[in-house]
Structure 1
Amino acid sequence: MKYTYLGKTGLKVSRLCLGTMNFGPSTEEKEAFKIMDAALDAGVNFFDTANVYGGNEHRGWTEEIIGRWFAQGGGRREKVVLATKVYGNMEHPIVDPNEQGGLSAYKIRRHLEGSLRRLQTDHIELYQMHHVDRNVSWDELWNAFQTHQNQGKIGYVGASNFAGRDLVKAQYEAEKRGLLGLVSEQHKYSLLCRLPELEVLPAAEEHGIGVIAWSPLDGGVLGGNLNPKEGSRTARQTERLEKLRPQLEQFSKLCKELGESEATVALAWTLVHPAMTAPIIGPRTLEQFEQTLRVVEVELSEDVLARLDEIFPGPGGEAPRAYAW
């Protein structure tokens, strides 16, 4: 496994981040335990989850599974750089309006306590805002996070789904207070979703924010399965797949020439951008996890990158060059 620093911190994380969203709803606990054990054995030390993972009927389920895995001991907790998130509602928003999606000092405290309890730990290395909430001030947010950092409950603060301007604003407000600020931004990024190259990735790189790519396979579309089983996709998903088929067939042909799977190439491509810390891999089975480990060994040549640009054109570079010059 290869490692890099998380943003501008001295914390080293693996260049693959284990996503756990499938644990519970799609992956039973026993299999999830096997995947997490295999991750540690392979040197993957960066685990990502969220307080809402588990589905509407059992929010928090995924954190509970990870907590029971930690409880087995054997140094599991000590070996993991743990990341979770806050924003979504956990209880019944109709009863308590403060449980609706959003951020506040009140909500951060309550949800942090819930995550710590479910995860059976006393601290979280990376606590991430799952979405931006422009209705709350940075005075409130940075004061709240600083309180929990001073208590030792969280190590670093990260973001997810922030626009470039939100990242810059967060760092500006943190610097005014003498704080480290955001160390990471978890953002949707893949060969089929390259808009972050306009603003988000440049802003993150300039401000020392490590980027963690979510959905780097675009929900499996870039995984090479051009003919999924009947009934495995919705009508809308099937329509999108057919629309993308010409590109995906070219992509499959290129991957065959390289002797690599589509998933491997798509994940390796995300690691090329200098702002990228790690893509999130979300295996449902141990076999799927093991198939992703080769990603960090793959180096894509300039010629291959140029061909990928032809198949999956990006926005044309950073703003404003992409559209003004």
Structure 2
Amino acid sequence: MEYTKLGKTGMKVSRLALGTMNFGPRTSDEVAFQIMDRALELGINFFDTANVYGGWGGPGHGYTEEVIGRWFAQGEGRREKVVLATKFYNGMDNELDGPNDGAGVSAYKLYRNLEASLKRLQTDHVELYQMHHIDHSINWKEIFAAYENMITQGKIYYAGSSNFGARHLAYAEAASDQRDFLGLVSEQHLYNLLERLPELELLPTAKDLGMSVLVWSPLEGGLLAANALNTTSGRRSERVEALTQYGRQQLQRYADLCAELGETEQDVALAWLLNKSDITIPIIGPRTVEQLESAVHALDIHLSIDVMNQLDDIFPGPGGSAPEAYAW
């Protein structure tokens, strides 16, 4: 396993993060325990979750954190070996919070949601506490004061964001500088061969600010996985049906290139991210131990400049960063 520092911090994290969104809705507790144990054996020390995981067709919001908490409770150094990240923003169907249970970011939500997550996770702290989405009415003085308070108490080590725009990262950096606060150390964002808009503003901004970029949905919901065009099951087949003729041609060209390389589509998609200097960590979301073990192979794949160029030809991005991508 390879390791890197999380943004401008000195904390080392694995180049692959274990995403846990499937724990509950698509993966049983028993298999989830096996996946987490195997992840540690493979050297993956960075686990990502969120307070709402477990809902959206699963047992209920918060269930995934409970699964991780029960796994931690088995002891044998499990909690000590994990760099744990969770998130808050969405409502949790908590009647006690009344109107404050809706989506958004505030000191109230940070305090209440953090305490609830710590209880479910059966731990006294999380290393990275992320805002799950931008709140366009966010008060940076309020939210950074709350983060600083929880960091002082040792309940949070670092602050992070998810699904922010480049301008939001800049606003946050300016606000944290005024407070002499470390600020956001990472941004978790949608990025893959099929979704390359972040190359315009988000990726260069994060790099300039010394922030790590954590990538969610590196396989674009399975479209970049093996046999995507042949599947007849679930959500992925619906997305394939919605593809244009051009989109199907892209995926076929991609499958042909991966076959030439002797690698699976999912491994090449992960390797592409790992070969990019502005990407810190792809987040993988295995449903089985076998999927987890397969994903780790991507660390061993070196993509030549020629192959990277071929991938750019199949999945053309915006042409680089703004404004050069579209203006002189």
Q: What is the CA-CA distance between 1:241 and the residue it aligns to?
A: 4.0
Q: Which residue identity lines up with residue 119 of structure 1 in the other structure?
A: L
**What residue number does 1:252 align with?**
255
Q: Which residue identity lines up with residue 317 of structure 1 in the other structure?
A: G
Residue aligned with 1:224, SS: coil
Structure 2: gaps (5+ residues): none
Q: CA distance change for structure 1 residues 95 and 167 in 2, over 3 Å: closer, same or farther?
A: closer
Q: What is the CA-CA distance between 1:225 and the residue it aligns to?
A: 1.9
**What residue number does 2:284 align with?**
281
**What residue number does 2:171 align with?**
169
**Conservation of the 8 A alpha-carbon contact between 2:8 and 2:211:** yes
1:107 aligned onto 2:109: yes
**What residue number does 2:89 align with?**
87
- Pairwise mapping of residues 72-221 of structure 1 onto structure 2 (< 5 A)? 72-92=74-94, 96-221=98-223
- Pairwise mapping of residues 292-311 of structure 1 onto structure 2 (< 5 A)? 292-311=295-314
Alignment match of 1:266 (pick from 263, 266, 269): 269
**What residue number does 2:29 align with?**
29
Q: What is the CA-CA distance between 1:224 and the residue it aligns to?
A: 1.9
- Identity, % of aligned positions: 58
**Conservation of the 8 A alpha-carbon contact between 1:186 and 1:212:** yes
**Conservation of the 8 A alpha-carbon contact between 2:16 and 2:281:** yes
Query: 2-side partners of 1:297 and 1:87: how far apart?
Result: 36
Query: 2-side partners of 1:284 and 1:267: how far apart?
Result: 16
- TM-score normalised to the size of structure 2? 0.96
- Report Cα offsets for 1:183-225 as digits up to 9, x if no partner: 0000000000000000000000000000000000000000022
Q: CA RMSD in A?
A: 1.5
> Which consecutive aligned stretches of 4+ in structure 1 deviate over 6 angstroms post-superposition?
none
Query: 2-side partners of 1:285 and 1:89: how far apart?
Result: 29
Report which stretch shifted further, 86-95 or 244-253.
Answer: 86-95
**What residue number does 2:40 align with?**
40
**Conservation of the 8 A alpha-carbon contact between 1:269 and 1:300:** yes
Query: 2-side partners of 1:221 and 1:234: how far apart?
Result: 7
Q: CA distance change for structure 1 residues 227 and 315 in 2, over 3 Å: closer, same or farther?
A: closer
Q: What is the CA-CA distance between 1:231 and the residue it aligns to?
A: 4.7
Q: What is the CA-CA distance between 1:297 and the residue it aligns to?
A: 1.2
Query: 1-side partners of 2:172 and 2:114: how far apart?
Result: 20
**What residue number does 2:50 align with?**
50
Query: 2-side partners of 1:307 and 1:34: how far apart?
Result: 37
Q: What is the CA-CA distance between 1:229 and the residue it aligns to?
A: 4.3
Count of residues in correspondence between the two structures? 325
Residue aligned with 1:276, SS: coil
Q: What is the CA-CA distance between 1:232 and the residue it aligns to?
A: 2.3
Residue aligned with 1:74, SS: coil
Q: CA distance change for structure 1 residues 52 and 297 in 2, over 3 Å: closer, same or farther?
A: same
**What residue number does 1:316 align with?**
319
Residue aligned with 1:324, SS: coil
Q: What is the CA-CA distance between 1:276 and the residue it aligns to?
A: 1.3
Structure 1: gaps (5+ residues): none
Q: Which residue identity lines up with residue 98 of structure 1 in the other structure?
A: N
